[in-house]
């Protein structure tokens, strides 16, 4: 079937605005991860869902960041009061279970101006 899909592929927003980034995981994958990748860096963990619940949100940098996965499939990463330092590629990945191969989406490139 289809791979992990992320929308939008690119998002430019003004400082202080609210943004939502969407992730459609591979069908049947119970584990879903959000990562943030800055230029020249490895993916930095943000949050991990097992089903509908956030099993680990220790990577969220502050309370401006929030993510949901209400039905255990699609997930939305929400960023309030965006700052220029939030600019990065936000990657979503899913896997059939934790501790197994994670399949990445193409990412959303967020630019805060």
Partner 1 sequence: GENVEQHPSTLSVQEGDSAVIKCTYSDSASNYFPWYKQELGKRPQLIIDIRSNVGEKKDQRIAVTLNKTAKHFSLHITETQPEDSAVYFCAASSGYSTLTFGKGTMLLVSP
CA 48/CA 77 separation, integer angstroms: 11
44 phi and psi, to 5 degrees?
-105, 125
User: Of the ranges 11-19, 54-62, 65-73, 76-84, which one interacts with partner 1 (CB under 8 A)?
Assistant: 54-62
Does position 45 bind partner 1 by CB under 8 A? yes
Quick one: which of 23, 88, 105, 108 contacts partner 1 (CB under 8 A)? 105
User: Of the ranges 14-22, 60-68, 73-81, 92-100, which one interacts with partner 1 (CB under 8 A)?
Assistant: 92-100
86 phi and psi, to 5 degrees?
-80, -10
The rounded Cα 33 to chain-centroid distance in angstroms is 7
Least Å from the CB of residue 37 to partner 1: 9
Least Cα distance to 36 among 110, 113, 112 occurs for: 110
By CB under 8 A, name the binding residues for partner 1.
Answer: 33, 35, 40-45, 48, 56, 58-59, 91, 98-107
């Amino acid at each position: 079937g289809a791979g992990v899909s992320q929308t939008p592929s690119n998002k430019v927003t003004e400082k202080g605005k609210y943004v939502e980034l969407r992730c459609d995981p591979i069908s049947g994958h119970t584990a879903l991860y959000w990562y943030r990748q800055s230029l020249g860096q490895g993916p930095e963990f943000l949050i991990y869902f097992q089903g509908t619940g956030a099993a680990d949100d220790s990577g969220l940098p502050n309370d401006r960041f929030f993510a949901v996965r209400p039905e255990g499939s699609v997930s939305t990463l929400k960023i309030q009061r965006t700052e220029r330092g939030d600019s990065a590629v936000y990657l979503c990945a899913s896997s059939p279970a934790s501790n197994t191969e994670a399949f990445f989406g193409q990412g959303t490139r967020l630019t805060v101006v």
